[in-house]
Structure 1
Amino acid sequence: MELQTYQFGDMTLTWLRGADKYTDAGTLFGPVPKAVWSRFYPTTDDGLMAELTDPILISYQGKQYLIDASLGTEKLDAKQRRNLGVLSENRVLESLASLDLRPEDIDVVLMTHMHNDHAGGLTSLKDGEIVSTFPNATIYIQEIEWNEVRHPNKRTRGTYLKENWEAIQPQVQTFSEEMEVVPGIELHHTGGHSNGHSIILLKQGEETMIHMADLVLTHVHRNPLWVAAVDDYPMDSIAAKTKWVNEAYANGYKFFFYHDQFYAVLQFDKTGQEVRECVKRIRKPIVDWTEKQEKRLDVTDAS
């Protein structure tokens, strides 16, 4: 299995193979008209957008940090698979094995939020019993998110599934607004997509990488007003995106992505219009560009 890596100072980032899925593009672009977003990002003829759910492994100072956990596809029934648009199985454990790592070798899991496509892989089936996938890991979850995942409401009960969190309870540590996990790895609460949604900053020397998780689902979602219909608190999303995207542009942060099928890492100039660095995904896109995307990102002059 060929896995994509990126070296950031002393950190090695590796995109593991999670499950691939289709989602209705109207869901992911919310109020943005199809006549607008279809010029930037491709879909199938049926209007389905391909999403990767690839957790990002950070190997740093002898420890293994995992950002999110993909879908737990082996726990899904046929109806769930259909509704979620599952195209392929979660291959995170296979990915780790290709790196000579076991699930027991994961030291920390950094959860951006607990929606099923990010948290399902936290648990797995073993001899018919649901158990923690990464039994030795400390799992960091924002405190509001941890409370709401255990007490879902009518809107969230379909994605905050007890089979994703019951088995990991002894491993969970919560934080409030921000947390430095170790020097160089930070969690920041944003809300918006979910009430406890958080983003991740990686720092090495004077450089910073920013993972905005589902606030910036793909590279085209950098526009603060392009808010998905699945965001529970869209005005909070807009405020958080405005703050963090502008900070990233102003300071030359590098964006990295969980769902985007085209780009792993992108860095922009201060205007956010020109690409300074581009690292394309090495995986072949599930739904490739067409001539309709005349507004697609211009990366011709990027390094």
Structure 2
Amino acid sequence: MDTLRVGEIEIHWLRGGVTHFDGGAMFGVVPKALWSKKYQPNEKNQIRCVTDPMYFHYQGKHYLIDAGLGNGRLTEKQKRNFGVTGESFMIEDLATLGVKPEDIDVILMTHLHFDHVVGLTNAAGESIFSNAIIYTTATEWDEMQHPNIRSKATYWPENWPGIASQIKTYEQELLLNEAITLRKTGGHSLGHAVIEINSGGQSAIHMADIFPTHAHKNVLWVTAYDDYPMDSIFAKERLIKEIDGKKKWLLFYHDAYYRALQFDLDGNITEKVEMNLVGE
């Protein structure tokens, strides 16, 4: 299991499922001749993207970041459309750490798109992590329940009733404790958020889908899935200044090659945690 220690906190990546999203969609207006040099597509022009949640234990509580694809939640058509070649082993991976689903205390959601949220419920729509508080922005939770003509393609009605009683929302920023902060950025979705971890003089940030893979380092490279691309660009521009040259880890949920990276002031990789799990 791939891990990274940030001060007192040891982050574990869990196998949440594997998708193959269209490369053009994942890189938006960037020409294939450019992005394919950094992230190779398959013969269908798809790029491999894992959906791997993160787990950590801190001050007696068990935390998850996002929830993967789950099991038995997708139809065969959905699996085909999203290039799904593997569902979740998150519960099994937690078990190897001695953690049961009912042990999870807190779930930190960056946003509620299907590839981040379906792992919260089982095939019957019931909550898997029934004792957890689930944090998301108020904007995201509202759109989850009342999607618009575009966003209804990813905010599925079956994904929220089973977790509704567990949701706690915040507006712009939530400081859970001295180590964990959630910040709304918008961009990828109106209520998209990033998660920052600070412990023992070390820090990391999970920028989720405004920085989905290492190949999205250029602030102008955003996905066609982003509902508000200029907000993504401005948020990336601001947050990258907090990372480059600061020995701060950038954490990934979707990247098929790296779990975490550090960059120097010129944006070059200086430290890395590579993916060792096959994930399928």
| Fold shared, TM-score > 0.5 on shorter chain | yes
Greater gyration radius: 1
What's the CA shift for 1:81? 1.4
Counterpart among 41, 44, 48 of residue 43 in structure 1 = 41
For the 8 Å contact 1:123–1:163, the answer to whether it is kept is no
Alpha-carbon offset, residue 144 of structure 1: 0.3
TM-score, scaled to structure 1:
0.90
Residue by residue over 1:224-246, the C-alpha shift from the partner in whole angstroms, topping out at 9 and shown as x without a partner, is 10010000000101110100012
Which one-letter code corresponds to 1:19 in the other structure? G
Q: Paired residue for 2:175?
A: 180
2:197 match: 202
- 1:68 corresponding residue in structure 2: 66
Partner of residue 165, structure 1: 160
Partner of 1:118: 116
1:8 aligns with 2:3: no
2:128 to 125, 133, 136: 133
RMSD: 1.3
TM-aligned CA deviation for residue 89 of structure 1: 1.4
1:276 Cα deviation after fit: 2.0
Separation in 2, partners of 1:253, 1:214 = 18
Q: CA deviation at 1:284?
A: 4.1
Q: Cα distance 1:10–1:265, how it changes in 2: closer, same or farther (>3 A)?
A: same
What residue identity is the alignment partner of 1:154? I
Aligned to 1:299: none
Worse-superposed segment, 182-191 or 199-208: 199-208
Tell me what 1:301 maps to.
none
Q: Answer yes or no: is the 8 Å Cα contact 1:27–1:229 preserved in 2.
A: yes
Report the CA distance between 1:9 and its aligned residue: 1.3
Q: What TM-score do you get using the length of structure 2 for normalisation?
A: 0.97
The answer to whether the 8 A contact 2:8-2:200 is kept is: no
SS of alignment partner, residue 270 of structure 2: strand
Q: How does 1:86-125 map to 2 (within 5 A)?
A: 86-125=84-123
Which residue of 15, 21, 24 maps to 2:22?
24
Mapped to 2, the partners of 1:72 and 1:265 lie a distance apart of 23
Contact 2:86 2:279 in 1 (8 A): no
1:281 to 259, 275, 280: 275
Deviations 1:26-59 (A, max 9, x none): 0000000001111111111221100000000011
Distance 1:90 1:100 in 2: 18
State yes or no: 1:80 paired with 2:75. Answer: no
CA distance in 2, matches of 1:98, 1:24: 33
Counterpart secondary structure, 2:196: strand
SS in 2 for 1:179: strand
Judge conservation of contact 1:93–1:103 (CA < 8 Å) in 2.
yes
User: For the residues of structure 2 that align with 1:265 and 1:165, how far apart are their CA atoms?
Assistant: 30
Shift of 1:94: 1.3
Aligned to 1:155: 150
**8 Å CA contact retained: 1:65, 1:107:** yes
Aligned residues between the structures: 280
SS at match of 2:122: strand
- Provide structure 1 residue ranges, at least 5 long, that are not aligned to the other structure: 287-303
Residues 285 and 58 of structure 1: CA distance in aligned 2, closer, same or farther (over 3 Å):
closer
**AA of the residue aligned to 1:228:** T
In the TM superposition, residue 68 of structure 1 has moved relative to its aligned partner by 0.2
SS in structure 1 of the partner of residue 175 of structure 2: strand
Q: Aligned partner of 2:212: which letter?
A: L
Structure 2 unaligned spans of 5+: none
How far apart, in 1, do the equivalents of 2:59 and 2:4 lie? 16
**What secondary structure, in the 3-state scheme, does the structure 2 residue paired with 1:182 have?**
coil
> Which residue of 1 is the match for residue 223 of structure 2?
228
Q: Deviations over 1:157-193 (max 9, x none)?
A: 1210122111111110001111111210110000000
Q: Secondary structure of 2:143's partner?
A: helix
* Residues 14 and 53 in structure 2, CA contact (< 8 A), matched pair in contact too: yes
SS of the aligned residue for 2:266 comes to coil
Is the 8 Å Cα contact of residues 143 and 175 (structure 1) preserved in structure 2?
A: yes
